[in-house]
């Protein structure tokens, strides 16, 4: 599975991609997560199964989701506090939810179930 993490310039997406790769490896899951930029999205999306959008791209999410849906790609608009997910487990849970949930991935990412969120936050605390 290939995950494309997109932000404006590629800096914050690099950290999210690294953390997701580590979280997937820790649970024995094969996953490729790479960072991209909004400008590179038209080219890079062609090989992605899931696109994770930085929260600052919320205004573009609808257009990106519509385009990605035509290609069978799920889009997750990451919540504003995702950069606090130091071990990547919360982000990986958002990916899992996007792949199995019939609800739009953006709604799931923006409003994760309270129990799931609490469990994920507890796991990511030192």
Residue 120 has pLDDT above 60, yes or no: no
Going along the chain from its start, the domains and CATH numbers come out as 2-124 (3.40.50.2300)
Distance CA 45, CA 2 (A): 10
pLDDT tens, residue by residue, 71-99: 889 999 999 999 889 999 999 999 999 88
The pLDDT value recorded for residue 10 is 66
pLDDT tens, residue by residue, 51-69: 999 999 999 999 999 999 8
Tokens, residue 13: 């997406």
Residue 41 has pLDDT above 90, yes or no: no
Distance CA 102, CA 97 (A): 9
The pLDDT value recorded for residue 101 is 66
Residue 16 has pLDDT above 50, yes or no: yes
Residue 124 has pLDDT above 70, yes or no: no
Residue with the larger pLDDT of the pair 78 and 126: 78
- The radius of gyration of the chain from alpha carbons, rounded to an integer in Å, stands at 13
Q: If you average pLDDT over every residue of the chain, what do you get? A: 81
Distance CA 78, CA 3 (A): 13
Strands 2-7 and 50-53: parallel
The pLDDT value recorded for residue 66 is 92
């Amino acid at each position: 599975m290939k995950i494309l993490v997109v932000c404006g310039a590629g800096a914050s997406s690099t950290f999210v991609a690294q953390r997701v790769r580590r979280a997937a490896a820790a649970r024995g899951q094969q996953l490729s997560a790479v960072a991209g930029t909004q400008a590179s999205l038209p080219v890079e999306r062609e090989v992605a199964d899931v696109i994770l959008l930085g929260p600052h791209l919320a205004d573009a999410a609808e257009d990106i989701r519509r385009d990605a849906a035509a290609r069978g790609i799920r889009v997750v608009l990451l919540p504003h506090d995702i950069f606090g997910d130091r071990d990547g487990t919360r982000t990986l849970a958002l990916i899992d939810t996007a792949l199995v949930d019939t609800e739009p991935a953006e709604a799931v990412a923006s409003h994760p179930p309270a129990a799931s969120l609490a469990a994920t936050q507890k796991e990511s605390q030192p």
